């Protein structure tokens, strides 16, 4: 069934929305915004031998965001009729007193923009026969078992999402966009009869079904997933200590400086007030932007209706900008950067990443590992966390090897790396000359789970705490 | 048979499927937040949604938040999805026995939130801690009223309705010092604000908050450790699925093949409860498959007696019944809407008799663990391995002493389970908000030996 929604196909909901936007402006708020969303998600689950579940979900609702200065409120409803919107606006606007009540204002005349899709879609998921999706999952499972007889369980989820969003605010913004995401999650457990090891990966694409519609595409997802689990069976402990670390995974930059550069976390933070100062090795340039076609962080606009653009955060080691949402713009007195993002209408937007990357350097990638006498090579970062205020981070290297005398030796599994953002950035001693592939993933933070990418060339950090 | 049941039966006949089941869920959340600087925040939300699934040889699901979408259309979508499924309905969905009597709401008065009382409570809790707040810390208190109703109906005539409402008070303590920031949160759930033990909640928050910073480390080695109830809840949230039927049945849990075996010290018990005071999905009366919530032992005196399951996995594993743990992540949570899956309703560590002072005294020379930093990536389900930075307070001569913050817990869940000596007498409850339906409870827990490693940053 072809996806259609009232958001893109009509404007009958706009007048009730404008009325709802106007109500809080007379009760202390100086800004109001409604975020409308209609999305349809389909999902197929493969339990390893057959399709075990199939579902379709229709989400529909609106979130109301109010501001008075830098004070904010958020509420949502999935009743999008005039009465439901009015009830939400009246309730949220007067539930508790505002600290500073803004003078009464009015909604500005709106200018409508309907964006063309930011990403090319060759095979719309809703036009792909279910049989093709089933066959893709069967093939993925088969690839796992063919790769290793030690696979004792392999299962997978396929999911696609057709999402229409509209942002309507009291400053006259009325912007609409359709977004498509296709995802394969793959889970594997391996055993050698004595030990077991597991791994899972999430690959999300701002693309249609074509992203998964070839054996080669599936191999690139499944085989590394299985290999990481197999490495877990033979992984050796690494001697804990402070040592050089070589990293291929963009998750490192996402955690190390991505989150701390979000305006949401700037207050008192490690990067606060450092614009124009050296915060990284001169070899490091870090950018963020939802403008790379096909990358899952790419959209035509932010979830606050700001057109997407590339944002240079750190240039040759010097801090140039932050990722700034509307609230951050008010707090910092700096322009918004299309960073306001949210999982869905149930979340207020906050400054988040889109596609975050380190620009390529000049060191031949193949020369980096041979330059290390003893250290850790990190192929995949399985996850991690950072305190965005202090910059203190903790990552889990889920896949990689020990480096001894310039060569990769024993595989490692689930090794902790820890440090501080700026310290690690300043210790970048080499940046490789080609990028490593990004998988597209979900990032969880204050405004829920959003799709992001993070990628970079191989980098060498000359010292980090490991283990 | 209700009108809805008859309508579902008619639609099942029309589409040629053996049966259809409908779950309707409505929820409303209102929150007031007070901070020590006197400011107030608020939020309000309302969500109504319907799920239809098919029965018979194939199972398909359809969910809608659009109230204007006719039930006929929703059913047609579910039937279309069912066409994709290979699986013969493993549990004969509609024929699965729903254990217990029809669910009656445990707290049927879904009254409007008392916003004035919520505001007063939030301010009162913050006020009780302002003496410790200052340039090195900030305090925040959020009071939430949650009301929820669920009805499960099917074409076989099942029609069960449950309603629930509760308050949650959550205190957040953010501490600053030596270039670090750290925050802790403690929660209390109650059917009414009068039932909230403010003194206990404030005391717990203060202890955890003050222990969270500027600590030293310990020499790497094995220590007796008292795990605080809030940390134990985070551990449960991180690793509960090793007790889940799906992981046990498919070999993804290190407890696979251990059903009926001793997997822990006799001092450890793990159970589900339907007690109404605690606020989780387990209090609602019925789960997402219409099974009535009750009490179920998961680990009894150290023996793994039954996994956490829904109907599907209970049948697949040959278990006598579900533990009423069919949940959707939308239930009481906000994550991406999902099909029915297995998740804790109110999974808790069975309390013992000792209070915290008693456990600390028994530990003698050890550590009181008040925080772990990363529950998402700390546990390996297949191997049981644990690796996470943690914080706490040193125990010397049976008394709490200086804070420690540069420590890593590097051990295994098997070791944790095996070394439980005693459990405290007071349970704290915890909802993992961003994970939705994961609700856990635990008392403080004393383990005889835990491997802690000195960490240096």
- Let me know if residue B338 belongs to a domain: yes
Q: Are residues A457 and A440 both part of a single domain? A: yes
Task: Check if B399 contacts A (Cβ < 8 Å).
Answer: no
| Residue B434 pLDDT exceeds 60 | no
Among B210, B245, B275, the domain boundary falls at: B210
Q: How many residues does chain A have?
A: 467
Among A168, A203, A234, the domain boundary falls at: A234
Q: Are residues A109 and A229 both part of a single domain? A: yes
Among A234, A249, A284, the domain boundary falls at: A234
- Let me know if residue B216 belongs to a domain: no
The distance of B357 to chain A (nearest Cα, Å) reads: 32
Q: Are residues B113 and B134 both part of a single domain? A: yes
- For residue B332, the model assigns a pLDDT of 39
- For residue B336, the model assigns a pLDDT of 44
Closest by Cβ to A196, choosing from B81, B83, B383: B383
State chain B's mean pLDDT as an integer. 82
Mean pLDDT on B68-93: 76
- Let me know if residue A391 belongs to a domain: yes
Asked whether the beta carbons of residue B63 and residue A88 sit closer than 8 angstroms, the reply is no
The predicted-structure confidence for A6-52, as pLDDT tens digits, reads as follows 788 888 889 999 999 999 998 899 999 999 999 998 889 898 988 88
Q: Are residues B229 and B82 both part of a single domain? A: no
The predicted-structure confidence for B294-314, as pLDDT tens digits, reads as follows 788 999 999 999 999 988 888
Task: Check if B419 contacts A (Cβ < 8 Å).
Answer: no
Task: Check if B434 contacts A (Cβ < 8 Å).
Answer: yes
Q: What angle do CA A446, A452, A453 make, to 5 degrees?
A: 145
Mean pLDDT on B187-191: 82
The predicted-structure confidence for B239-272, as pLDDT tens digits, reads as follows 888 999 988 998 888 899 999 999 999 999 999 8
Q: Are residues A422 and A333 both part of a single domain? A: yes
Mean pLDDT on A245-272: 89
Percent pLDDT > 70 in chain B is 82
| From A46-50, A78-82, A358-362, B429-433, the region with the lowest mean pLDDT | B429-433
Instruction: Give residue A53's domain range.
Output: 6-234
Q: Are residues A22 and A40 both part of a single domain? A: yes
Selected residue of B25, B31, B43 to mutate for chain A interface (largest A Cβ count, 10 A): B43
- For residue B331, the model assigns a pLDDT of 41
Instruction: Work out the burial of residue B111: count CB atoms within 10 Å of its CB; fewer than 13 is exposed, 13-18 middle, 19 or more buried.
Output: exposed
| From B99-108, B165-174, B179-188, B279-288, the region with the lowest mean pLDDT | B99-108
Q: Are residues A296 and A199 both part of a single domain? A: no
Q: Are residues A257 and A213 both part of a single domain? A: no
- For residue B156, the model assigns a pLDDT of 87
Q: Are residues B194 and B312 both part of a single domain? A: no
Q: Are residues B94 and B67 both part of a single domain? A: yes
Task: Check if A341 contacts B (Cβ < 8 Å).
Answer: no
**Cα–Cα distance between A146 and A51 in angstroms, integer?**
19
Q: Are residues A325 and A251 both part of a single domain? A: yes
Tell me how far the alpha carbon of residue B276 is from its chain's centroid.
Answer: 14
- Let me know if residue B443 belongs to a domain: yes
Q: Are residues A78 and A218 both part of a single domain? A: yes
| From A3-7, A100-104, B55-59, B354-358, the region with the lowest mean pLDDT | B55-59
- Contacts with A42 from chain B: Cβ below 8 Å: 81
- Let me know if residue A444 belongs to a domain: yes
- Let me know if residue B326 belongs to a domain: yes
**Cα–Cα distance between A86 and B42 in angstroms, integer?**
17
- For residue B101, the model assigns a pLDDT of 47
**Cα–Cα distance between B54 and A120 in angstroms, integer?**
35
| Residue A287 pLDDT exceeds 50 | yes
Q: Sorting pLDDT into bands at 50, 70 and 90, what band is A174?
A: very high
Asked whether the beta carbons of residue B82 and residue A54 sit closer than 8 angstroms, the reply is yes
Phi-psi region of B178 (alpha: psi -120 to 50; beta: other; left: phi over 0): left
| Residue A414 pLDDT exceeds 80 | no
| From A32-36, A432-436, B67-71, the region with the lowest mean pLDDT | B67-71
The distance of A121 to chain B (nearest Cα, Å) reads: 23
- For residue A123, the model assigns a pLDDT of 93
Selected residue of B24, B113, B377, B454 to mutate for chain A interface (largest A Cβ count, 10 A): B377
Q: Are residues B248 and B126 both part of a single domain? A: no
Q: Which residues pair with B439 in a beta bridge?
A: B431
| Residue A262 pLDDT exceeds 80 | yes
Asked whether the beta carbons of residue A189 and residue B334 sit closer than 8 angstroms, the reply is no
The predicted-structure confidence for B326-337, as pLDDT tens digits, reads as follows 887 554 344 445
Q: Sorting pLDDT into bands at 50, 70 and 90, what band is B106?
A: very low
Q: Are residues B294 and B194 both part of a single domain? A: no
Mean pLDDT on B72-77: 91
**Cα–Cα distance between A429 and A244 in angstroms, integer?**
10
- Let me know if residue B150 belongs to a domain: yes
Q: Sorting pLDDT into bands at 50, 70 and 90, what band is A408?
A: very high
Measured over the CA atoms of residue B425, residue B201, residue A91 and residue A332, the dihedral's sign is negative
Asked whether the beta carbons of residue A57 and residue B64 sit closer than 8 angstroms, the reply is yes
Task: Check if A237 contacts B (Cβ < 8 Å).
Answer: no
Among A209, A234, A259, the domain boundary falls at: A234
State chain A's mean pLDDT as an integer. 92
Q: Are residues B176 and B239 both part of a single domain? A: no
Q: Are residues A300 and A209 both part of a single domain? A: no
| Residue A364 pLDDT exceeds 90 | yes
Please determine, for the modelled complex, whether the ipTM score is greater than 0.85: no
- Let me know if residue B64 belongs to a domain: yes
| Residue A101 pLDDT exceeds 50 | yes
Domain total in chain B: 2
Closest by Cβ to B377, choosing from A92, A187, A384: A384
Q: Are residues B184 and B226 both part of a single domain? A: no
For residue B32, the domain's CATH number is: 3.30.2290.10
| From A346-360, B172-186, B346-360, the region with the lowest mean pLDDT | B172-186
Asked whether the beta carbons of residue B251 and residue A191 sit closer than 8 angstroms, the reply is yes
| Residue B177 pLDDT exceeds 50 | yes
Q: Are residues B245 and B192 both part of a single domain? A: no
Instruction: Give residue B203's domain range.
Output: 3-210
- Let me know if residue B105 belongs to a domain: yes
| Residue A331 pLDDT exceeds 80 | yes
Q: Which of residues 180-209 of A touch B (CB under 8 A)?
A: 187, 189, 191, 195-198
Q: Are residues B79 and B182 both part of a single domain? A: yes
- For residue B109, the model assigns a pLDDT of 53
**Cα–Cα distance between B391 and B384 in angstroms, integer?**
21
- For residue A305, the model assigns a pLDDT of 97
The distance of B66 to chain A (nearest Cα, Å) reads: 6
Q: Are residues B234 and B176 both part of a single domain? A: no
Among B210, B237, B270, the domain boundary falls at: B210
| From A157-166, A177-186, A365-374, B406-415, the region with the lowest mean pLDDT | B406-415
- For residue B333, the model assigns a pLDDT of 40
Q: Are residues A255 and A226 both part of a single domain? A: no
Closest to A125 in 3D by CA, of A66, A184, A177: A184
- Let me know if residue A437 belongs to a domain: yes
| Residue B205 pLDDT exceeds 60 | yes
Asked whether the beta carbons of residue B47 and residue A346 sit closer than 8 angstroms, the reply is yes
In this structure, are residues A319 and A262 in contact, taking their beta carbons and an 8 Å threshold? no
- For residue B412, the model assigns a pLDDT of 85
**Cα–Cα distance between B259 and B238 in angstroms, integer?**
21
Residues 6+ apart with CB under 8 A from B95: B55, B156
Q: How many CB pairs under 8 A join A and B?
A: 194
Q: Are residues A400 and A423 both part of a single domain? A: yes
- Let me know if residue A94 belongs to a domain: yes
- Contacts with B47 from chain A: Cβ below 8 Å: 61, 76-78, 346
In this structure, are residues B242 and B253 in contact, taking their beta carbons and an 8 Å threshold? yes
- Let me know if residue A1 belongs to a domain: no
Among B184, B210, B236, the domain boundary falls at: B210
Residues 6+ apart with CB under 8 A from B382: A189, A196, A197, A198, B251, B252, B253, B254
**Cα–Cα distance between B273 and B345 in angstroms, integer?**
8
- Let me know if residue B296 belongs to a domain: yes
For residue A192, the domain's CATH number is: 3.30.2290.10
Domain total in chain A: 2
Closest to B32 in 3D by CA, of A95, A247, A134: A95
- For residue B335, the model assigns a pLDDT of 40
- Let me know if residue A264 belongs to a domain: yes
Closest to A34 in 3D by CA, of A110, A102, A147: A110
| From A40-49, A281-290, A441-450, the region with the lowest mean pLDDT | A441-450
| Residue A440 pLDDT exceeds 50 | yes
- For residue B38, the model assigns a pLDDT of 84
Q: Are residues B447 and B352 both part of a single domain? A: yes
Closest by Cβ to B251, choosing from A152, A346, A448: A152
Q: Are residues A305 and A343 both part of a single domain? A: yes
Three-state DSSP at A370 gives helix
Residue B45 DSSP code: E
């Amino acid at each position: 069934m072809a996806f259609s929604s009232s958001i893109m196909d009509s404007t009958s909901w706009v007048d009730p929305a404008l009325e709802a936007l106007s109500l809080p402006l007379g009760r202390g708020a100086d800004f109001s915004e409604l975020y409308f969303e209609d999305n349809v998600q389909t999902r197929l689950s493969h339990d390893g031998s057959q399709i075990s579940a199939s579902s379709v979900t229709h989400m529909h609702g609106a979130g109301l965001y109010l501001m008075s200065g830098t004070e904010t409120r958020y509420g949502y409803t999935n009743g999008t009729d005039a009465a439901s919107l009015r009830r939400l606006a009246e309730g949220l606007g007067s539930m508790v007193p505002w600290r500073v009540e803004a003078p009464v204002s009015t909604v500005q005349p709106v200018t409508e923009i309907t964006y063309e899709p930011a990403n090319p879609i060759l095979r719309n998921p809703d036009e792909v026969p279910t049989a093709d999706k089933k066959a893709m999952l069967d093939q993925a499972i088969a690839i796992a078992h063919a790769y290793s007889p030690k696979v004792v369980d392999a299962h997978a989820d396929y999911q696609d999402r057709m999402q229409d969003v509209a942002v309507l605010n009291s400053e006259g913004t009325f912007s609409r966009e359709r977004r498509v995401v296709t995802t394969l999650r793959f889970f594997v457990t391996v055993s050698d009869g004595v030990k077991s090891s597991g791994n899972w990966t999430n690959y999300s694409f701002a693309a249609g079904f074509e992203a998964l519609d070839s054996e080669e595409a599936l191999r690139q997802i499944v085989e590394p997933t299985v290999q990481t689990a197999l490495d877990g069976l033979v992984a050796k402990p690494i001697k804990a200590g402070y040592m050089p670390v070589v990293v291929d995974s963009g998750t490192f930059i996402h955690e190390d400086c991505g989150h701390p550069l979000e305006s949401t976390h700037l207050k008192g933070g490690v990067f606060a007030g450092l614009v124009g100062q050296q915060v990284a090795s001169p070899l490091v340039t870090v950018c963020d932007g939802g403008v790379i076609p096909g990358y899952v962080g790419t959209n035509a606009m932010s979830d606050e209706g700001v057109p997407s653009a590339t944002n240079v955060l750190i240039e040759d080691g010097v801090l140039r900008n932050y990722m700034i949402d509307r609230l951050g713009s008010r707090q910092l007195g700096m322009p918004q950067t299309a960073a306001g993002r949210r999982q869905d209408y149930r979340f207020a937007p906050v400054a988040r990443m889109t596609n975050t990357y380190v620009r390529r350097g000049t060191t031949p990638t193949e020369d980096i590992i041979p330059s290390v006498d003893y250290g850790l090579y990190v192929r995949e970062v399985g996850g991690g966390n950072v305190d965005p205020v202090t910059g203190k981070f903790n990552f889990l290297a889920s896949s990689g090897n020990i480096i001894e005398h310039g060569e990769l030796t024993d595989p490692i599994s689930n090794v902790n790396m820890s440090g501080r953002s700026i310290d690690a950035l300043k210790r970048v001693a080499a940046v490789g000359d080609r990028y490593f592939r990004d998988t597209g993933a979900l990032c969880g933070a204050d405004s829920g789970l959003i799709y992001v990418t993070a990628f970079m060339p191989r980098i060498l950090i000359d010292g980090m705490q490991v283990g | 048979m209700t009108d809805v049941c008859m309508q579902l039966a008619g639609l099942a006949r029309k589409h040629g499927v053996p049966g259809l089941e409908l779950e309707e869920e409505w929820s409303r959340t209102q929150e007031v937040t007070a901070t020590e600087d006197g400011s107030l925040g608020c939020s309000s939300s309302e969500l109504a949604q319907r799920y239809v699934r098919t029965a018979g040889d194939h199972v398909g699901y359809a969910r809608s938040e659009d109230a204007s979408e006719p039930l006929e259309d929703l059913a047609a979508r579910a039937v279309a999805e069912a066409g994709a499924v290979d699986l013969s309905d493993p549990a004969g969905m509609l024929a699965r026995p729903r254990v217990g009597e029809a669910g009656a709401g445990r707290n049927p008065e879904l009254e409007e939130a008392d916003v004035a009382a919520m505001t007063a409570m939030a301010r009162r809790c913050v006020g009780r801690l302002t003496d410790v707040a200052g340039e090195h810390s900030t305090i925040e208190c959020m009071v939430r009223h949650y009301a929820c109703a669920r009805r499960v109906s099917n074409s076989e005539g099942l029609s069960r309705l449950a309603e629930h409402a509760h308050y949650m008070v959550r205190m957040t303590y953010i501490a600053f010092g030596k270039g670090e920031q750290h925050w802790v949160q403690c929660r209390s759930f109650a059917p009414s604000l009068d039932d909230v033990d403010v003194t206990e909640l404030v005391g717990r928050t203060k202890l955890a908050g003050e222990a969270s910073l500027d600590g030293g480390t310990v020499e790497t080695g094995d220590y007796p450790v008292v795990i605080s109830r809030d940390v134990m809840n985070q551990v449960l949230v991180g690793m509960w699925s090793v007790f889940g039927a799906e992981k046990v049945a498919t070999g993804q849990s290190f407890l696979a093949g251990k059903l009926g075996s001793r997997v822990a010290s006799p001092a450890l018990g793990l159970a589900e409860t339907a007690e109404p005071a605690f606020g989780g999905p387990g209090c609602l009366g019925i789960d997402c498959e219409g099974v009535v919530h009750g009490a179920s032992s998961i680990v009894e005196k150290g023996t793994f007696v039954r996994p956490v399951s829904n109907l599907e996995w209970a049948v697949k594993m040959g278990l006598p019944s579900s533990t009423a743990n069919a949940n959707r992540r939308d239930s009481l949570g906000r994550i991406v809407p999902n099909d029915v899956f297995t998740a804790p309703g109110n999974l808790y560590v069975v309390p013992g008799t000792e209070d915290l002072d008693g456990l600390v005294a028994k530990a003698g020379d050890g550590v009181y663990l008040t925080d772990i930093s990363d529950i998402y990536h700390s546990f390996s389900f297949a191997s049981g391995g644990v690796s996470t930075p943690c914080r706490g307070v040193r125990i010397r001569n049976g008394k709490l002493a200086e804070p420690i913050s540069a420590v890593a817990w590097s051990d295994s869940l098997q070791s944790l389970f095996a070394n439980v000596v005693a459990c405290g007498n007071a349970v704290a409850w915890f909802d993992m908000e961003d994970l939705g339906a994961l609700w856990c409870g635990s008392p403080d827990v004393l383990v005889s030996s835990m491997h802690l490693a000195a960490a240096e940053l």
